[in-house]
Amino acid sequence: MKQVLTIVLSLVSFAAAAHQEDVPITTASELRAWCEMESHALFIGKGITPYNWSASFWEKGNVLFVKGSWRVGNKEAVIDCRIARGAQTRYAAISVNGYEER
């Protein structure tokens, strides 16, 4: 019985964690936070630590936009994110410009 309970709790917590990561974005400020976190993770995944995040955000119709930047070494990497209002994060678009891997 204890093993069954452990398995059930593991599955429930896994499903809750998966759902928590893919949440709807309803405001440009929510997209800004997501864009910062996601772009930071992209650099960290490459073994690079970005610093000095700054960003502006706006809405145009039903689309939310963020234009941000990180300092990477002595260069600036520009990050662009966009998503339809209310869409889940898996549908967000992110692009990184101004940084080339060596």
CA 23 to chain centre: 11
Please name the residue ranges forming H helices in the chain: 2-21, 28-45
* Local confidence pLDDT in tens for the 102 residues of the chain: 555 433 433 444 444 444 457 899 999 999 999 999 999 999 999 999 999 999 999 999 999 999 999 999 899 999 999 999 999 999 999 999 987 665
CA gap 73, 66 in Å, rounded: 22
| 3-state SS, residue 42 | helix
